[in-house]
Amino acid sequence: MPTITPDSLRQRREGGTPPLTARVLLRRLGNVPTPPSTRAHCPYCAMQCGMLIGGTPDTPELAGDGDFPVNRGALCIKGWTSAGALAHADRLTSPLVRNAEGALAPATWDEALDRIADAIRALQARYGKDAIGVFGSGALTNEKAYLLGKFARVALGTRHIDYNGRFCMASAAAAANAAFGIDRGLPFPLADIAEAEAILLVGSNVAETLPPAMQYFDAQRRAGGHLIVVDPRRTPTAAAATLHLPLVPGTDGMLANGLLHVLIRDGLVDEAYIAQRTIGFAAVRGAVAACWPGRVERITGVPEADIVRAAHLLGRSRSAIVLTARGAEQQAQGVANTLAFINIALALGQVGRRGGGFGCLTGQGNGQGGREHGQKSDQLPGYRSLRDPQARAHVAAVWGVDPDALPPPGISAFELLDALGTDNGPRGLLVVGSNPAVSAPAAGRISKRLRALDLLVVCDFFVSETAALADVVLPVAMWAEEEGTITNLEGRVLRRRRVFAPPAGVRTDIEVLHLLASRLGHSKGFAFDSAAAVFEELGRASAGGAADYRGISHARLDAGEALYWPCPDEAHPGTPRLFASDFPTPDGCARFHVVTPTDPAEAPDREYPLYLTTGRVLAQYQSGTQTRRLRELVDRAPVPRVEVHPVTATQHGINAGDIVTVRTRRGEATLQVHVTATARVDTIFVPFHWGGLGSANLLTNPALDPTSKMPEFKVCAARLELRVPDMRAAQLVRANQDDGCGVAVVPVLLDTRS
């Protein structure tokens, strides 16, 4: 295993020197005789970096796992500090129930579960089965995601289930299914990136969002390869690229069409591959004929010369990979954008070739597995369609129920949240592992919907902004306290192992679902004695589906086998690479799609003259429920900020460190100004990790993609207003503490003018 040094971490942009605190002892290999020995995986992003853990929850010992091939010992700052939340003082160790005075107060498990079950029965008796909804998470293990879908459809009998992955991978999934017949974020191992001569990376700041993955991009460039980054911001990833294409937000599809136009015009497409392995190219050729580089420059803001150069770098390379991420996908035309970039990869003849192809960089820890086994409103385990009679019959047989008893498909995540408490929506909601009061678009509106419920139940480790609104909060086990599996961004299935016992009073989500199902008269189908038993049933339910896990087991994973789905039987070695010979479509061919780009749902105007886009920063994660409690991370990212170009700052009369209001048609957020030339003059950027007054999603537009139902997080119209010129960051932190959500934000005092 490699020695991790401060210099190597800085050079590879992995978050700086591993922090050493009294709570988290981060062992540096070479400085200690016995490294921690239990193999585990980071709880955050879809890299699922390997790590070694030992010690105790109060003084955990943690090191990168140099033998795990995905991260090869590297961890980012979030990974190094991940164990710090296990024994945090804010950790929930008792159920909370809202009392007659309106406060959340400790209760016994029986009291909490009885209250939930009684309320569910009463609401369903009055309003019908669909009176209860379920909102899940891309952070849940495969076992929990599977069991949550089963709980919704069998124990509750409701059609209302969806999850926060709808806000992450839905557009990429819909596009991949339409083009290739299957959705697996990366249809090849992450290490293949280092072998590509050219990479087109669209809408991803890998250096800050997937830092250990940068080693593959670094290796690719050291070998003479070219990296082309499409992003409105000059991020650290874009700064390291051969070519940066800083497009106007919302013009991704037009840029893709322009690149394909040049590839066709200059004879850089693979005609033989197109003829043998695809259909639909003639229509696409005709559609992009109107997307000549000069026209595309006027629309996207990307210089014509750079469009031509990018196309030639891709077209003249023997191996090329096209990768998309949230920048292109979290839009009301996210599916079309992704299909437009898939067209490029197919036209180059790269899909299915080693060192080439198309992939989507999954975001959440189990973003891949979380969308395969039943959390989505229209899906059953194995990526089966709930509308397919054969799929319903197969899964119903595994569950021991009548296929006709399974509810029909429900509505998507935002539609579900926006219907809460209304005449046509659920009156009660069970939230597991998610924080929609912060993560949903138009978050102010969604918080009102959550408050309108007759019953809100939240399973979490801490009192998040959503949990603070709940009638009942159930304390559940964290990542190092439970067994299960996770599927990372490559489709590799990984074991999550229990390192520590949960705190007294805390239960696993699997236990919680069994206890609730028992109270609702469905004990038999949920009485599993282990996560391995749940996974065995998941395998049977997924057998024959697109995401076939039948041949994978805890035992095979514990034996050290590297298993990628599909894996249909116990003798199958798994499938690291897809599409080598054909595609899982009726005729074995991939599909081109004509993409006609449209304007964003909301463009700047005189009242709101700027584009607003949102995203992540290195030292925080998702809605910040865990990361905003860790001193090392708060020190690096203490307050919500807005990135503003110097020209834009001057035009608005604002300076670095000022506290401003960013306003859109949905609401306003209070943010600290960060002046940087990496932003476009017409664009401001706000990270989405904070709740309260600094919540980016108070601003975002819930306009939905017609296919994926993905909200348009990445583009809307906004304006800047100076709030209180002499307000300091410490006051902003206190304002975020004082928003009524109950989240303990570490108070960090800063001189904002320094």
User: Where do the domains of the chain lie?
Assistant: 6-85, 113-167+366-528, 170-360, 610-737
Q: What is the mean pLDDT of residues 684-709?
A: 97
Q: Is the pLDDT of residue 60 over 90?
A: yes
Q: Is pLDDT above 50 for 745?
A: no
Cβ(6)–Cβ(19) below 8 Å: no
> Class assignment of domain 170-360?
alpha beta
CA distances from 338 to 285, 537, 747 (A): 17, 34, 41
- What is the identity of the amino acid at 452? A
Mean pLDDT check: name the lowest of 49-58, 152-161, 447-456, 740-749: 740-749
- By C-alpha distance, which of 720, 712, 673, 732 is closest to 335? 712
pLDDT digits (tens, 9 = 90+) for 538-574: 999 999 999 999 999 999 999 999 999 999 999 999 9
What integer pLDDT is reported at residue 742 of this predicted model?
37
Q: Are strands 428-432 and 455-460 parallel, antiparallel or unpaired?
A: parallel
Count helices and strands (H / E) in the chain. Answer: 26, 31
Q: Please give the distance of CA 525 from its chain centroid, rounded to a whole number.
A: 30
What is the SS3 assignment for 668? strand
Q: pLDDT of 297-320, one tens digit each? A: 999 999 999 999 999 999 999 999
Nearest alpha-carbon partner for 226 in 324, 122, 309: 309
| pLDDT tens, position by position, 515-546 | 999 999 999 999 999 999 999 999 999 999 99
User: Which DSSP string corresponds to 153-194?
Assistant: IIII--S-EEEGGGGTTHHHHHHHHHHHSS--S-SS-GGGGG
Ordered strands of the 484-487 beta sheet: 484-487, 492-496, 563-564
Q: Which of 156, 133, 163, 666 is nearest to 420 (CA)?
A: 133
Is 347's pLDDT higher than 70? yes
Q: Tokens 């904070």 belong to which residue?
A: 690
So what's the pLDDT on residue 397?
98
Which residues are within 8 A (CB) of 382 and not within 5 positions of it... i.e. 6 or more apart? Answer: 372, 373, 395, 541, 542, 543, 544, 545, 546, 547, 548, 549
Architecture of domain 610-737: Beta Barrel (2.40)
Q: Quick one: pLDDT at residue 37?
A: 80
Sequence-separated (6 or more) residues with CB below 8 Å from residue 101: none
Residues 283 and 565: their CA atoms lie apart, in Å, by: 33
Structure tokens at 40: 């585990």
| CA atoms within 13 A of residue 214's CA, in its CB half-sphere | 26
pLDDT of residue 735: 52
619 and 633 Cβ atoms separated by less than 8 Å: yes
Residue 451 has a CB neighbour count (10 Å cut-off) of 12
Instruction: Count CB-CB contacts under 10 A for residue 349.
Output: 19
pLDDT digits (tens, 9 = 90+) for 476-512: 999 999 999 999 999 999 999 999 999 999 999 999 9
Task: Compute the average pLDDT of residues 195-210.
Answer: 97
Q: How much is the average pLDDT of 681-688?
A: 97
- Fold type of domain 113-167+366-528: Rossmann fold (3.40.50)
Q: Answer yes or no: is pLDDT of 754 > 60.
A: no
Q: What is the pLDDT, as a whole number, of residue 725?
A: 54
Is residue 689 within 8 A of residue 616, CB to CB? The reply is: yes
Q: Which residues make Cβ contacts (< 8 Å) with residue 595, sequence separation at least 6? A: 253, 256, 257, 284, 287, 336, 337, 339, 340, 343
Interval 151-156 mean pLDDT: 98
In this prediction, residues 342-370 reach a mean pLDDT of: 95
pLDDT at 722: 85
Looking at the predicted structure, is the pLDDT value of residue 726 above 80? no
Type and span of the H or E element at 230:
strand 226-230
Determine the average pLDDT of the residues in 134-156: 98
Percent of the chain at pLDDT exceeding 70: 91
- b vs e for 492-523, b when ≥16 Cβ sit within 10 Å of the residue's Cβ? bbbbbbbbbebbeebbbbbbbbbbbbbbbebe
* Residue-level pLDDT at 734: 57
Per-residue tokens: 393: 């019959």
Closest CA to 107 of 91, 90, 94, 93: 94
How high is the pLDDT of residue 36?
77
Judge whether residue 20 has pLDDT over 80: no
Residue given tokens 């905003």 in the structure block: 628
DSSP state of 573: -
Confidence (pLDDT) at 15: 38
Mean pLDDT throughout 192-209? 97
Written as six digits, the tokens of 472 are 């009942």
**Where residue 35 falls among pLDDT bands split at 50, 70, 90?**
low
Other C-beta atoms lying within 10 Å of the C-beta of residue 409? 15
pLDDT of residue 342: 98
379-407: pLDDT as tens digits: 999 999 999 999 999 999 999 999 999 99
Cα gap 220→224, rounded to integer Å: 7
What value does the mean pLDDT take over residues 149-175?
Answer: 97
In the prediction, which pLDDT does 34 show? Answer: 62
- Residues 573-624 have pLDDT tens digits of 999 999 999 999 999 999 999 999 999 999 999 999 999 999 999 999 999 9
Higher-scoring residue by pLDDT: 743, 628: 628
Is the predicted pLDDT of residue 739 greater than 70, yes or no?
Answer: no
Q: At 16, is the secondary structure helix, strand, or coil?
A: coil
